[in-house]
Amino acid sequence: MSRHANTETDMRPPIDSTGASTRPFRQSLKAGSRYAFFAAIAVVMLFAAILLPSTALAIPGSGEFVALYSEGGREITELYNMIAKICLAILIIVEGALLVAIIKFRRRSDDDRPLQNHGDLRLEFAWTMGALAIQIWIGVATINVMFSTETKPDHIDMTVVAEARQWEWDFHYEFDDERGSLTHTDLVVPAHKNIQLQVTSVDVLHAIFIPDLGIKLDAVPGRYNNWWFRADGPVAQVRPEDHATVEREQWERPQTRSGAIRQGQDAAARPVTGLERRVDYLGVGRTVEEVSPYEGYNAVEYQGTCAELCGLDHWDMYFRTVVMTPSSFNRWVDDQLARVDVADGQTIYDGECAACHGADGTGVGQYPPLVGSDIVSDPDLADEHIDIVLAGVDASPPMQAFEARFNDAEVAAVINYEREEHGGEGAGIITEDDVAERREALGFEPFPATTIEPEDTDELMRVGERLYQSCITCHGADGVGPDYIPSIAGSEVVLEEEPVELIRILIEGRDLDEWPGQKRPLAQGLSDMELAALLTYLRQSFDNDAPVVQPFDVNDIRSELEQTPTE
C-alpha cells in the first residue's frame, strides 16, 4: 500500500495555479481500478438521474404539458417548456460536474493529499450572478405570460358562475337576451369566445381544475374569484359566419407566439360530425355513458375536477367541460331551456312502457314496435304521438291512457325519450307546453308539472342545523336564550301551520320593545332552499313538532309577502 502511495507521490506532476491535479486521466484510471466498481455504479446512478428528469420535466414540445386547448393555456405551456429547457440544461451541468468529480477525483490512495483552496471570489460571483440572471429571465417571461393570459379582455362574451358544493358543481349561465338564465351541472361554453368564469363555493374551499384548458382557481365561500379564457373547440367553429375575419389557417393550427407548439389534431380540416373528443372518465358515481349527451352537438369534451381537498368525496367531483361551436351552443341552450329530462323519461319508459314495447323499443309479442314507427320518428307526427300517450289506444291489443297518471313534464319526458332513443335522428323533441296544448285539445283536465321535487327532510335538517350556528349567539344552542330574547322552543310564531309570520320576521327584521337592539333582516340573503331548511330545523328541533317546510312553500309565501308589504 505504501509503495503504491509512493509511486503516486513520485508521479505527481507540478501543480498548476488552479489547484487541480493535472495528472493524465488514463493513468489515473489504471491506478484507481479498485474503485472502478463505485465509479461504474455512480455512472449508472447519474445516468438515471439525468435521464429520468429529462422526461419528468417534459422534453420541450413533447406535449406532456396538457393545457393545450385554450389560447392562454398554450402560452402557459410554451412558458413551461422554456423553463423546462433551462432547468434541464442546469440539471445536466450539475449532474455532469458531479459525475466528472466522482470519476476524476476519487481517492486512489489513502495517502492522497489534495491541494486546498478556500474559495474563488470570481467563480462564486460568477455563479451567483448567473443564477440571478436566469431567475430574472424566467421571472420576466412569466410576467409577460401572466399579463397576457390574465388581463381581462375588453369584451367578455359570456359569464359563467361556477358554484361548488360538497361534492358537485353547478354552473349558472346568464344570457343578455330574453333567454334569461340557466343552471347546469356541466360547464358548456362556446368556442373562441371570451368566457369569464366566476368561481365561488357555498360550503368549504374547492378549486375548479380543467387541465386541458389551463384553468385552476380556488372556490372560496363568500368570494367570487374571476378567470377568463378562450377555448378551442371542434374545427367547425371557424366557419365563416362567426369568424369571418379570422384566417382559417390560424384556427386549423393553433399556434403559440413562437410557433413552438403545433397541435393540429383537433383542428385538422375534416368535416365535423358531432362530438369530436369525449371525456372517458368522470369518476365513480358517473360512468361515462356509451352515448354522450353532447353527441348531437358539434363539440369537444374535457375533464374538469376539484383540486382543493374538500372532504369525503373530494376525489369524485368530476364534471364535463364542453366546448361547442357557437351555433351548437345556441342550440344547446335552447334545448336546455325547453328541457325535458331524458333520464326521467327512461325511468318512466322502463317502468310503464317497456313491458309491451320492449326495453329496446322493438315490441313484445303482438305489441307494436316503436323503432321504425312513423309516429315516433316523424317530427310532423309528434302531436299524434302525444295524443296516443295521453288518451291510449282502443284497439287490440289496447293501450291504456296516461293522461291522469303523468303530468305534462313526465309525458314530455317519456315521449322525448322514445323519440331520441327509438325514433332516431331528426325525430325532434317536444315540450311541456306541447303536451298541455294537446291535453286542452283532447278535452282533458290540465295537469301541469310540479317541477320542484320535495326535498329530503334529513337534508333540510342538516342544512338547517348548519345555518342555525349563526343564531346560537342570541338564541342559544337549546333555542331558549336569555329572558329578553324570544324563545324558539314552543313559540307560536314558529309552530304556525303556514309560517308566514316567521318568514316575514326573518326576511324583513322586526323591532321589539323589550329588545334592546335592533333585529336585522338576518335571512334576507338566504335562498328558498336555505330558508326552508332553517325553518324546518326550527320547527322540528327543541321539542318543536311542526310540519316540514319545503322550498316551494317558501317561494309561495315569499311572493305573497311581496304583494302585501308590511305597513
- Should residue 3 be labelled a site residue for another protein when binding is judged by CB under 8 A? no
Q: Could you tell me if 304 and 172 are in contact, meaning their C-beta atoms sit under 8 angstroms apart?
A: no
Closer CB to another protein, residue 390 or residue 505?
505
Which residues in the 139-178 window bind another protein by CB under 8 A? Answer: 139, 141-143, 145-147, 149-150, 166
Cα(225)–Cα(223) distance, rounded to whole angstroms? 6
DSSP letter (8 states) at residue 184? E
- Should residue 83 be labelled a site residue for another protein when binding is judged by CB under 8 A? yes
Give the position of cell 336585522: 520
Instruction: Candidates 59, 371, 474, 495: give the one binding another protein (CB under 8 A).
Output: 474
Instruction: Candidates 29, 31, 59, 138: give the one binding another protein (CB under 8 A).
Output: 138
Tell me if residue 540 falls in helix, strand or coil. helix
Instruction: Candidates 4, 12, 262, 405: give the one binding another protein (CB under 8 A).
Output: 12
Least Å distance, CB 122 to another protein, is 11
Contacts 24+ apart (CB under 8 A), 335-342: 335/429, 336/182, 336/184, 337/179, 337/180, 337/182, 338/429, 338/431, 340/409, 340/412, 340/413, 340/416, 340/429, 340/430, 340/431, 340/432, 341/413, 342/293, 342/413, 342/416, 342/417, 342/420
Instruction: Candidates 4, 19, 153, 289: give the one binding another protein (CB under 8 A).
Output: 19
Which residues in the 261-280 window bind another protein by CB under 8 A? Answer: none
346, 347, 351, 355 alpha-carbon torsion, rounded to 10°: 20
Give how far Cα 116 sits from Cα of 17, 19, 21, Å: 12, 7, 11
- Should residue 223 be labelled a site residue for another protein when binding is judged by CB under 8 A? yes
Q: Could you tell me if 453 and 380 are in contact, meaning their C-beta atoms sit under 8 angstroms apart?
A: no
Closer CB to another protein, residue 350 or residue 478?
478
- Should residue 301 be labelled a site residue for another protein when binding is judged by CB under 8 A? no
232-267 CB burial, b ≥16 within 10 A, e <16? bbbbbbbbeebbeeeeeeebeebbbeeeebebeebb
Closer CB to another protein, residue 283 or residue 369?
283
> Which of 301, 336, 306 is CA-nearest to residue 318?
306
Q: Could you tell me if 399 and 393 are in contact, meaning their C-beta atoms sit under 8 angstroms apart?
A: yes
CB-based burial label for 128 (10 Å; 0-12, 13-18, 19+): exposed
Q: Contact region for another protein (CB under 8 A) — 15-23, 232-240, 241-249, 453-461? A: 15-23
Least Å distance, CB 534 to another protein, is 13
Q: Contact region for another protein (CB under 8 A) — 288-296, 331-339, 368-376, 514-522? A: 514-522
Least Å distance, CB 494 to another protein, is 19
Q: Contact region for another protein (CB under 8 A) — 286-294, 438-446, 470-478, 539-547? A: 470-478
Q: Contact region for another protein (CB under 8 A) — 208-216, 249-257, 380-388, 411-419? A: 208-216
Which residues in the 519-548 window bind another protein by CB under 8 A? Answer: 519-520
CB-based burial label for 16 (10 Å; 0-12, 13-18, 19+): exposed
- Should residue 47 be labelled a site residue for another protein when binding is judged by CB under 8 A? no
Least Å distance, CB 548 to another protein, is 22
Closer CB to another protein, residue 108 or residue 439?
108
Give the position of cell 430574472: 136
- Should residue 45 be labelled a site residue for another protein when binding is judged by CB under 8 A? yes
- Should residue 510 be labelled a site residue for another protein when binding is judged by CB under 8 A? no
> Which of 471, 493, 477, 490 is CA-nearest to residue 544?
490
Which residues in the 344-403 window bind another protein by CB under 8 A? Answer: none
Closer CB to another protein, residue 195 or residue 430?
195
Cα(105)–Cα(20) distance, rounded to whole angstroms? 9
Instruction: Candidates 11, 40, 43, 56: give the one binding another protein (CB under 8 A).
Output: 56
Closer CB to another protein, residue 97 or residue 442?
97
Closer CB to another protein, residue 213 or residue 236?
213
Helix 457-468 and helix 528-540: axis angle, to 10°? Answer: 90
Instruction: Candidates 11, 40, 41, 337: give the one binding another protein (CB under 8 A).
Output: 41
Q: Contact region for another protein (CB under 8 A) — 41-49, 237-245, 372-380, 553-561? A: 41-49
Which residues in the 90-129 window bind another protein by CB under 8 A? Answer: 90-91, 94-95, 97-98, 101-102, 105-108, 110-120, 123-124, 127-128
Instruction: Candidates 29, 31, 42, 546: give the one binding another protein (CB under 8 A).
Output: 42
* Alpha-helix residue ranges (DSSP H) falling in 422-550: 432-442, 457-468, 472-475, 492-495, 500-508, 528-540
Amino acid identity of residue 369, one-letter, is P
Which residues in the 187-206 window bind another protein by CB under 8 A? Answer: 203-205
